[in-house]
Structure 1
Amino acid sequence: MPGGADMTLRQFLWRAENVFGDREVVSRTHRGIERYTYDEYADRVRKLASALDEFGVQTGDRVATFAWNHHWHLEMYYGVPCLGAQLHMINILLPDTHVQHLVSDAEDKLVFVDATMVDKLEGAYDADAFESVEQFVVMGDQVPDTTLAPITDYESFVESGDPDFTFPDVDEEQPAGMCYTSGTTGMPKGVEYTHKMYWAHTMSLLTGELGLRNTDVELTIVPMFHVSGWGRPFATIASGAKTVLPGPNPEPADIASLVENEGVTKSAGVPTVWRGLLQYAREADPDLSSLEFALCGGAATPKGLIRAYRDELGVELASGYGMTETTPVTHVSEHRPETRDYEGEDLLELRAHAGLPAPGVEMRVVGDDGEEVPWDGESLGELLMRGPWVTQEYFNAPEKTREAVTEDGWLRTGDIVRAQENGYVDVVDRVDDLVKSGGEWISSVEVENRIMGHEDVAEAAVIPVEHPQWDERPAAFVVPDGDVDESQLREELQAHVTETYPDWWSPDAVRFIDEIPKGSTGKFSKVTLKDEYVDDSLRERVEEAAPGE
């Protein structure tokens, strides 16, 4: 029949070993900086797969990780799926009850845990929830004191593995990975990724001006414990680029050191990571000149942050978009032919877009009536997507699947967007975070990004607060950048918003706090703000203020 082999991850591993075998994996671990070549990496991947096979891991079994970004975790990204098993990446920042739900729901057979996270996993351990687990493996060469059992260390586990192990033939529809949503409303939902989904997603990350090349040095800051590290570990190896992994709980100084010492050219992370690195660079002045592009996602990228990276560091910060259900990247703010000469504010506007849809992704923007709205840069609607790496169902959750996926296969993202005529998308808000004031919508994302554009603001989040007359009004929670006169800054911020948006978009209340609460993926936790920070005094302030006051 026409066509060739199934689309599997083994093909990417083969290319890295046989074409780019001398390229390095550089790994910051609890033992220090470690490095080896793709030749050696591939041998260790086969040894891992062989050891798992010897242990009794079979096609479809789930093997969990509870770990940061380092070479042991990277070996599992290929070793487990290429064996035909499924890699389940557990978010190490989730609360214990969620971790218990994930292990129980996935029925994990083995759990590989970071040496620095053994205590955390031990705290989450519950005999009933972990009933399926037959073995714990500590990533490293030693086992610390722990009640987790049976347990061994990674190096001992793979020691008897065969570096010449032959991978079995794996169907492209075989699940290769699994991640769970962050669970901001209820328990997290499982999303499975097949070899075909990973393969198609990886190929999309090798295209365009931000695509990875074999000449690149990629620093994988995005946590490999959530949404497959945005697919960067797969794409880096597939491209033949040098891989740099920042290890346990990397601080801005660690990231800067790796960029400077390893010549990093590309990376990706959430806005909080890039804010932290910018602040460190302002104080320590590291050499970040090798860094060409930094992809920013997980939340809208403030224009002020993009401008600061360009003006102060000479780094192009570009927005991207995706979600757990889309493997995850579906949009990147790259150039179109007619924008190649953009400079200044025009280029800033382009990079702030969530981006153009990636090759292979289809999208629709629909209104409340389910009909498509025009791509005119103004009309708002919910973003729907479908494509080879967009999920069609949740694991063990048929009711959630029916809510999220249409009968003809379109995923309802829950994100309200506007699409430009030329295809660029702007994410305006989550459906639940829009502020409905007097029958009109206010984008909390756009207001908070405008506030974060003020020079005296480090972070800001805007949420809706109930109002007896207007239904809802916006309230802003702000982290000042240094010592400020709060009363004066409050007035400045409200005026700052109205310079760009209508008066009634200005928040009725501005409260200053030490830190915006964040969820397990580094995004602002607006659920926490609504549940724990909205008190009677804030409600009274909102009720007393006239819109735009």
Structure 2
Amino acid sequence: MRGQMMYQALTTGSLIDHAARYHAGTEIVSVATKGGVERTCWADISANARRLASALDHLDVPAGARCGTIAWNNRRHLEIYFGVGAGGRVTHTINPRLSPEHLIYIINDAADEVLFFDHTFLPSIHQLQPHLKTVKHFVLMDPRDEEALSTLGSLKFFDELVAHGDAQHAWPELDETTPAALCYTSGTTGKPKGVLNSHRSLVLHALGGNQPDGTCISARDSLLPVVPMFHVNAWGIPFIAAMAGARLVLPGPNLDGDSLLKLLTEEKVNVAFGVPTIWMGLMAALKSSGAQLPDLERSFVGGTALPPSMINTFRDDYGVELIHAWGMTETTPIGTINMPLRKHSELPLEQQREIRHAQGRPIFGVELRVVDAEGNTLPNDGESQGSLQVRGHWVVECYYGSKEHALTDDGWFDTGDIATLDENGYLVIRDRAKDIIKSGGEWISTVDLENIAIAHPGIANAAAIAARHPRWDERPILLCVRAQGSSVEESELLANYEGKVAKWQIPDRAVFVDTLPMSATGKVLKNRLRDEYGQILAEDRE
């Protein structure tokens, strides 16, 4: 038929080619694993990505092979992102914070043939090596290191591979549905499961995620992805940055508040990305130093619920807008971003601020619904609470290696979240289905209880869990970490709930602990807390 449009496959290679062609000199700043800062640019990242693809060809790594990475956010990791995927293979990012058992399972389940890793993880790789059945090439992401070579025999070195590669290497012609990236869930309640992203899904995710009501990244921005590149492709930020030609600041291994404050200030970062625990650390560093953030304008926060008190502190004290977002490994991950509508500007200021506490609206490419226990779709009225389900262009259909669909009979993915949606599609995550407390037949949101606790100046972090109760089946209790120098007691903290929630929702106990157990992705491990404290109310009655 005459009049058709030109067709070009949506591939990650097209993203890095665009960055190299039109934003060649834009700086990439990388904090090195062993210290110091490297400065390169999109043109060099592109050339090294092509050299890497060429080197993998010479190693006879076949098309479609999984290439694992255990690495921090740095420029070599960025080169792998593009060199492996655009070269026709699959970048398998692996979370180094997982247990050795989960690491062995994931690498073997993915059947990785190449394993790239930073020097930090050399001792771990040495211990894992005998258990890895499919890895043919272990590649240290450094120049040649004779001491490392003595630790791990037959070791290859990233810089040598790249040096012998071809900077003019042509990307293979790929169907856009070809797999490009593999990420595994954290496996907190079972074995991790793999989510395989195609080139098409990654490019569409970058396009959808970078709309004006999305991340709104441009070539004028300087980005700091604190979210690790081993966590759901750093939320797609490397791909969005290449598409926009933005400046990237990669923080390396040091993600404490003081290190991030120094990096944000010295590199004049204006947009950042990270989970709430990261910003808790930054907030503590800001308060202790008395510093400000003159360049940082906004930060996108996801992974777990963002306490409203933190939003208020960063906005009012530091002029930084924390923007709530929601997603998961199975959604690549961006599902919603909290950006206001035009009509919201007419609301009183407090109502505008209240809206920003939700997880936001779906970006183009994502549809949401909530359903009841029988699977009936509930109204988008902001009140009807049910199981959150999602479908879209970058939502998982089945897990890697599984023959079974991960979807409902009518094609939706059940997220495991309990949520509400309003008439504009604004999402409020009330709780995880496995975490929500059912007391006397009524639901209590742990998120709401935690937000109130964390807003107290004497509390650094808190988790609410269900404890067994002989009459009400379950009752809420709090596990709290005091802020530095705080002496807040249980009675004062529980009294703080008066008037903020219904009386029957006030926790029965507040227990102070030194730390909260965290998952490999920065989420509180409530299953461990339930195991340890789930019987505390019964014990109190003895």
- TM-score computed with the length of structure 2 as normaliser: 0.96
1:337-382 Cα offsets, whole Å, 9 max, x none, are: 1124567422321221111001111111101111111111211011
Specify the SS of the correspondent of 1:321: strand
Instruction: Give the AA of the match of 1:494.
Output: L
Specify the SS of the correspondent of 2:259: helix
Specify the SS of the correspondent of 1:348: helix
Q: Structure 1 residues 334-343 or 233-242, which shifts more?
A: 334-343
Contact 2:335/2:362 (<8 A) preserved? yes
Q: Distance in 2 between matches of 1:184 and 1:199?
A: 29
Q: Structure 1 residues 93-102 or 505-514, which shifts more?
A: 505-514
Contact 1:361/1:386 (<8 A) preserved? yes
Report the counterpart of residue 18 of structure 2 in structure 1.
15
Report the counterpart of residue 66 of structure 1 in structure 2.
70
Q: Structure 1 residues 447-456 or 202-211, which shifts more?
A: 202-211
TM-aligned CA deviation for residue 409 of structure 1: 2.0
Specify the SS of the correspondent of 2:95: coil
Specify the SS of the correspondent of 1:368: coil
Report the counterpart of residue 308 of structure 1 in structure 2.
313
Q: Distance in 2 between matches of 1:427 and 1:288?
A: 30
Contact 2:458/2:487 (<8 A) preserved? no
Instruction: Give the AA of the match of 2:73.
Output: N
Q: Distance in 2 between matches of 1:341 and 1:284?
A: 37
Q: Distance in 2 between matches of 1:446 and 1:537?
A: 21
Give 5+ residue unaligned stretches, structure 1: 545-549
Q: Distance in 2 between matches of 1:343 and 1:26?
A: 41
Instruction: Give the AA of the match of 2:246.
Output: A
Match of 2:166 among 162, 168, 173: 162
Contact 1:136/1:149 (<8 A) preserved? no
Specify the SS of the correspondent of 2:418: strand
Instruction: Give the AA of the match of 1:46.
Output: R
Q: Distance in 2 between matches of 1:251 and 1:484?
A: 21
TM-aligned CA deviation for residue 421 of structure 1: 2.2
Counting only pairs closer than 5 Å after superposition, residues 439-478 of structure 1 correspond to structure 2 as 439-478=441-480
TM-aligned CA deviation for residue 260 of structure 1: 1.1
Q: Distance in 1 between matches of 2:486 and 2:365?
A: 48
TM-aligned CA deviation for residue 420 of structure 1: 1.8
Report the counterpart of residue 350 of structure 2 in structure 1.
345
Specify the SS of the correspondent of 1:184: coil
Specify the SS of the correspondent of 1:397: coil
Report the counterpart of residue 270 of structure 1 in structure 2.
275
Contact 1:303/1:348 (<8 A) preserved? no
1:294-331 Cα offsets, whole Å, 9 max, x none, are: 01111111000000001111100010000000000110
Report the counterpart of residue 521 of structure 2 in structure 1.
521
TM-aligned CA deviation for residue 36 of structure 1: 1.0
Q: Distance in 1 between matches of 2:196 and 2:40?
A: 31
The answer to whether residue 374 in structure 2 is matched with residue 375 in structure 1 is: no
Report the counterpart of residue 140 of structure 2 in structure 1.
138
Contact 2:255/2:278 (<8 A) preserved? no
TM-aligned CA deviation for residue 496 of structure 1: 2.1
Q: Distance in 1 between matches of 2:307 and 2:103?
A: 32
Q: Distance in 2 between matches of 1:436 and 1:325?
A: 27
Q: Distance in 1 between matches of 2:398 and 2:368?
A: 18
Instruction: Give the AA of the match of 1:160.
Output: H
TM-aligned CA deviation for residue 71 of structure 1: 0.2
Contact 1:134/1:150 (<8 A) preserved? no
Instruction: Give the AA of the match of 2:466.
Output: P
TM-aligned CA deviation for residue 149 of structure 1: 3.4
Match of 1:171 among 175, 190, 204: 175
Specify the SS of the correspondent of 1:42: helix
1:421-477 Cα offsets, whole Å, 9 max, x none, are: 221111011111010111111111111111111111110000111112111111110
Report the counterpart of residue 425 of structure 1 in structure 2.
427
Specify the SS of the correspondent of 1:497: coil
Pick closer, same or farther for the CA change 1:493–1:378 going to 2, 3 Å.
farther
1:100-130 Cα offsets, whole Å, 9 max, x none, are: 001110000010001111112223x152x41
- TM-score computed with the length of structure 1 as normaliser: 0.94
Contact 1:24/1:242 (<8 A) preserved? yes
1:376-422 Cα offsets, whole Å, 9 max, x none, are: 12110111111010010101234xx54x4113321110000011222
Identity score, percent: 38
1:282-301 Cα offsets, whole Å, 9 max, x none, are: 11233411111101111111
Specify the SS of the correspondent of 1:243: strand
Instruction: Give the AA of the match of 2:87.
Output: L
Specify the SS of the correspondent of 1:352: coil
Q: Distance in 2 between matches of 1:52 and 1:524?
A: 39
Contact 1:267/1:293 (<8 A) preserved? yes
Instruction: Give the AA of the match of 1:455.
Output: P
Report the counterpart of residue 547 of structure 1 in structure 2.
none
Contact 1:226/1:521 (<8 A) preserved? yes
Report the counterpart of residue 228 of structure 2 in structure 1.
223
Q: Structure 1 residues 302-311 or 334-343, which shifts more?
A: 334-343
Report the counterpart of residue 490 of structure 1 in structure 2.
490
Specify the SS of the correspondent of 2:37: strand
Specify the SS of the correspondent of 1:257: helix
Contact 2:271/2:297 (<8 A) preserved? yes
Q: Work out the number of aligned pairs and report it.
A: 535
The answer to whether residue 408 in structure 2 is matched with residue 406 in structure 1 is: yes
Pick closer, same or farther for the CA change 1:135–1:57 going to 2, 3 Å.
same
Instruction: Give the AA of the match of 1:115.
Output: H
Instruction: Give the AA of the match of 2:43.
Output: D
Q: Distance in 2 between matches of 1:417 and 1:173?
A: 32
Counting only pairs closer than 5 Å after superposition, residues 18-417 of structure 1 correspond to structure 2 as 18-29=21-32, 30-123=34-127, 125-127=128-130, 129-143=131-145, 144-145=147-148, 147-209=151-213, 210-340=215-345, 344-398=349-403, 401-402=404-405, 404-417=406-419
Q: Distance in 1 between matches of 2:509 and 2:236?
A: 40
1:248-290 Cα offsets, whole Å, 9 max, x none, are: 1322222112211111111110000001001101112334111
TM-aligned CA deviation for residue 500 of structure 1: 1.6
Specify the SS of the correspondent of 2:188: coil
Q: Distance in 2 between matches of 1:115 and 1:343?
A: 53
Report the counterpart of residue 504 of structure 1 in structure 2.
504
Q: Distance in 1 between matches of 2:347 and 2:178?
A: 44
Instruction: Give the AA of the match of 1:441.
Output: W
Q: Distance in 2 between matches of 1:485 and 1:142?
A: 52
Q: Distance in 2 between matches of 1:149 and 1:201?
A: 40
Q: Distance in 1 between matches of 2:423 and 2:515?
A: 38
Pick closer, same or farther for the CA change 1:126–1:28 going to 2, 3 Å.
closer
Contact 2:467/2:536 (<8 A) preserved? no
Q: Distance in 1 between matches of 2:274 and 2:89?
A: 28
Instruction: Give the AA of the match of 2:103.
Output: V
TM-aligned CA deviation for residue 147 of structure 1: 3.9
Q: Distance in 2 between matches of 1:461 and 1:511?
A: 10
Q: Distance in 1 between matches of 2:82 and 2:538?
A: 52
Q: Distance in 2 between matches of 1:42 and 1:537?
A: 57
Contact 1:205/1:212 (<8 A) preserved? no
Specify the SS of the correspondent of 1:136: strand
TM-aligned CA deviation for residue 536 of structure 1: 5.1
TM-aligned CA deviation for residue 530 of structure 1: 1.6
Give 5+ residue unaligned stretches, structure 2: none
Contact 1:306/1:348 (<8 A) preserved? no
